[in-house]
Amino acid sequence: MENAQYIKEKILFPLEASPSPAYKILVIDDEPATLQILKLLLTKAAYHVTICETAIEGLKKISQNAYDCIITDVIMPNLSGYDFVRAIRRQPQFAGLPILVLTRKRNREDVKKALEAGVTDYAIKPIDEQLFLDKIELCIKKGQGKRHIFTLKLEGSLSEATVKIKCKILSLSESDLTLWSQVPLNENLEFHIKTQLFHEMNIDFPYLKLIECEFVPANDSRDAGYNIKLGFIGLSEIELKKIRNWMQRETILHKP
């Protein structure tokens, strides 16, 4: 009954429908009610949606159809969401396929586990509708025009490395931040940014993933460099609320 009311109030009659291109999305979750909620939400946003209840069924569908994005639950019978992602990533043709994990797990170890499995982004149940749709849009955008990339997996001490790059944060939203750097960042990497900004918000340094990197010629105020857009991965509702509150406070303080 609660899910039916949620569908009626939040999805069938939303305040505003935001049109999206007709991308194809596969949603995998062993909870039928969750599948219906996500299907209605994504269909309302103009996506073509296919649903299934097991990861094994999902693998079959991926082998038979082309999708622009995959959304999968983590805890499922027979094959978990993480094992499902690993199975996909072992196939070179799916190296750039956007995959978003949907789960109730919130701690940073779970976020790290998801990233290590090869997910593109991480969303928390119950979902924030607009943030969820923003994540889907960013995932699909990141997956466009992917090239096959040959990689060599390193182990032990050879796999450990830290790169420090000086940069300047230009803008911030609930789903991403944009910074300027003289050095471009490469796709398919996760990042940490150490900045006083997150310290002021009282949140841990978040995981970030590259959305786009655009070269900007020199001008009167800045040398030539790159505007780099990074998306937050796996922020909890508490952390999102801290970002919102900080942005609102700064807007009020600096309002002319």
Largest CA distance in the chain: 60
Q: What distance in Å separates the CA atoms of residue 23 and residue 143, rounded to the nearest whole number?
A: 12
Q: Give residue 36's identity as a one-letter amino acid code.
A: Q
Given this model, what pLDDT does residue 70 score? Answer: 95
Task: Please check whether residue 154 lies inside any domain of the structure.
Answer: no
Task: Please check whether residue 151 lies inside any domain of the structure.
Answer: no
Q: Looking at the structure, do residues 131 and 21 belong to the same domain, yes or no?
A: yes
Q: Looking at the structure, do residues 24 and 134 belong to the same domain, yes or no?
A: yes
Given this model, what pLDDT does residue 100 score? Answer: 94
Domain count, the chain: 2
Given this model, what pLDDT does residue 14 score? Answer: 46
Give the CATH number, domain containing residue 70: 3.40.50.2300
The pLDDT tens digits for 24-71 are: 999 999 999 999 999 999 999 999 999 999 999 999 999 888 899 999
Q: Give residue 7's identity as a one-letter amino acid code.
A: I
Q: Give residue 256's identity as a one-letter amino acid code.
A: P
Q: Looking at the structure, do residues 207 and 133 belong to the same domain, yes or no?
A: no
- Among 143, 176, 210, which residue terminates a domain? 143
Q: Looking at the structure, do residues 139 and 180 belong to the same domain, yes or no?
A: no
DSSP string across 142-203: HHTT----------GGGG-------EEEEEE-SSEEEEEESS---SS-EE----HHHHHHT-
- Give strand pairing partners of 70: 26, 99
Task: Please check whether residue 159 lies inside any domain of the structure.
Answer: no
CA–chain centroid gap for 95, Å, is 16
Q: Looking at the structure, do residues 127 and 183 belong to the same domain, yes or no?
A: no
Given this model, what pLDDT does residue 34 score? Answer: 92
Task: Please check whether residue 203 lies inside any domain of the structure.
Answer: yes
The structure tokens listed for 165 are 């790059």
Q: What distance in Å separates the CA atoms of residue 99 and residue 97, rounded to the nearest whole number?
A: 6
Given this model, what pLDDT does residue 153 score? Answer: 65
pLDDT band at 152 (very low <50, low <70, confident <90, very high): low
Q: Looking at the structure, do residues 12 and 87 belong to the same domain, yes or no?
A: yes
The pLDDT tens digits for 3-25 are: 544 444 444 444 344 444 589 99
Given this model, what pLDDT does residue 8 score? Answer: 43
| Cβ within 8 Å of residue 240, ≥6 positions away | 128, 131, 174
Q: Looking at the structure, do residues 137 and 169 belong to the same domain, yes or no?
A: no
Residue 1 has pLDDT above 50, yes or no: no
Instruction: Residue 106: give the domain boundaries.
Output: 2-143
Q: Which of 190, 178, 197 is nearest to 239 (CA)?
A: 197
Given this model, what pLDDT does residue 143 score? Answer: 74
Task: Please check whether residue 93 lies inside any domain of the structure.
Answer: yes
Given this model, what pLDDT does residue 7 score? Answer: 44
Q: Looking at the structure, do residues 193 and 69 belong to the same domain, yes or no?
A: no
Give the CATH number, domain containing residue 197: 2.40.10.220
Residue 212 has pLDDT above 80, yes or no: yes
Q: Looking at the structure, do residues 171 and 131 belong to the same domain, yes or no?
A: no
Q: What distance in Å separates the CA atoms of residue 25 and residue 13, rounded to the nearest whole number?
A: 22
Task: Please check whether residue 7 lies inside any domain of the structure.
Answer: yes
Q: Could you tell me the sign of the dihedral formed by the alpha carbons of 238, 239, 241, 246, in that order?
A: positive
Q: Looking at the structure, do residues 126 and 242 belong to the same domain, yes or no?
A: no
Q: Looking at the structure, do residues 110 and 64 belong to the same domain, yes or no?
A: yes
The structure tokens listed for 196 are 């006083």
Given this model, what pLDDT does residue 33 score? Answer: 93
Q: Looking at the structure, do residues 185 and 121 belong to the same domain, yes or no?
A: no
